[in-house]
Amino acid sequence: MSKQHPHYDVIVIGAGPAGYVSAIRCAQLGLKTACIDNWSNNKRQSSLGGTYLNAGCVSSIALLESAKIYHLLNHEIGKHGIHVENISLDIGQMMQRKNKIIETLSAKIADIFAYHGITRIHAHAKLINARQVEITPLDHSAPSVIQSGNIILAAGSSSVDLPCAPVDNEFIIDSTAALNLDCVPKKMGIIGAGVIGLELASIWSRLGSEIILLEAQENFLPLTDQQISREAYRIYTQQGLDMRLGARVISTKKSHKKVTVEYQDNEGQHCLRVDKLIVASGRKPNTENLATAETNLVLDENSFIHVDENCRTTLPGVYAIGDLTLLGPMLAHKGIEEGVFVAEQIAGIHTPINYDILPSVIYTEPEIAWVGQTEQALRAIGENIKIGTFPLTASTRSHVKGSPDGLVKIIAHADTDTILGVHIIGAHASELIAEAVLAMEFSASSEDLARTIHAHPTISESLHEAALALDKRTLHLPAGRLIP
């Protein structure tokens, strides 16, 4: 007989960005809240933050910062008249720095939980019915049951497995293992040239690996604006990334501490031999064993939880947020907004999310960021649009910083001048996109952005210049040299 625990107003399953933010907002609103999460660090201790913090975006960004410094010292620092010798690489120390950042940020979440009185449970959780959750301690001791008036499912996602490349995390590795290597592979293959594959390639190529990306799709970054994806392909290829599109992996074989990859493209079958092979072919929702069959929680054919526009599942009082649903892309900030939205909904506050202006970011170097619609999508529906672009080669600050690659693109309605999409590739694109999101949130026109005073010289004024370019009046680039 399982032991009964106190009743809660809200139980949150998962402590990634969606889950921990939802728990915090619930507690802020006076709801008695418990958060169950099964992530354990290498010390077998609870580490809040989910994959995003412990083995995903934060880890990737931390390592990329280190890799950029190493690359700068080896290849760029001489341009500044600074000369260094005997540069060495300590991967162990680099990983320690990354892990320390994770520990610090996870501890901050734990402090916030404690401040708000959120009950934190380190265990596996399974939905039994619309009001009860079974918790199983990680030491496999007897399970118990806790109850709640509302349950929020925020269990996140995990890497997709490929039968042709079974992960052993020694030679064929997943993205988590790729962020914890103890040495720099001489030659590294990556299956998938999407967000995760490119971010990992940006790290290890700067640390000295020869990188070959095998992408099954014929088009590079098909969800981004095509002009941006073409520019990205040019820049990344120039950086030394070997990106092979239309390359479908058929099989892999491990021998003599190497991995032989057989793949097929339009020119036939090929073999590639690498020291490490990263499988970065997407992510799947963590819905397996999340609920008993008796709950009748409805999933789609890809195991995403079916929800309505208010993140409600088919079970009364049970919500699903973040990577578990198809409401918007798998992004940390999407999960955060849904976490707040559901918490406030439970408390009787309705603040809907505008998924149409949800920004997306690829944390490579340079970064890619966008919000709104792409040129190809707008032209496909026959929208009457106008476009303004500004290359960062014309940006004073970009030259001073030594990062002139990239461009800013603004798409506006030709009749109303409403901003429909903003697309950026360049240094700090993830920061620059915030201004565009704010402008679109308040239904700004491109003229509003053009008449907003930006400090000079800054990279952010490239947005200002792109807005001016819509009317062919950019100030720091002759109109005849605007990017078509």
* Residues classed as catalytic: 456
Tokens of residue 368, six digits: 């890619």
Q: Which residue type is seen at 100? A: K
Rounded CA gap, 172 and 163, in Å? 12
Interstrand relation of 276-279 and 172-173 (parallel, antiparallel or unpaired): parallel
Q: Alpha carbon of 408 to those of 314, 424, 425: distances in Å?
A: 42, 5, 7
CB-based contacts of 289-293 (< 8 A; 24+ apart in sequence): 289/124, 289/126, 290/13, 290/125, 290/126, 290/127, 290/153, 290/155, 291/126, 291/127, 291/128, 292/126, 292/127, 292/128
Alpha carbons 378 and 444: distance in angstroms, whole number: 18
Q: φ, ψ for residue 17 (rounded to 5)?
A: -55, -45
Which three-class secondary structure state does DSSP give residue 374? coil
Per DSSP, helices labelled H in 117-219 are 175-178, 195-206
Q: What H or E segment, with its residue span, contains residue 52?
A: helix 50-54
Distances (CA, A) of 105 to 99, 110, 114, 452: 10, 9, 14, 36
Sign of the CA dihedral with 310 first, then 312, 317, and 319 last: negative
Q: State the pairing for strand pair 407-413/419-426.
A: antiparallel
- Determine the Cα–Cα distance for residues 52 and 148; give it in Å rounded to an integer: 27
Strand partners, 13: 36, 153
Give the C-alpha separation, 278 to 173, whole Å: 5
Token pair for 12: 């949150």
CA torsion angle for 454, 455, 458, 460 (degrees, to 10)? -20
Q: Which of 155, 153, 204 is nearest to 175 (CA)?
A: 204
Give burial (CB, 10 Å; 0-12/13-18/19+) of 146: buried
Contacts of 259 (CB under 8 A, 6+ apart): 171, 172, 189, 252, 253, 273, 274, 275, 276, 277
Distance of CA 262 to the CA centre of its chain: 29
Please give the Cα distance from 368 to 406 (Å, whole number): 9
What is the C-alpha separation between 172 and 62, in angstroms, rounded? Answer: 23
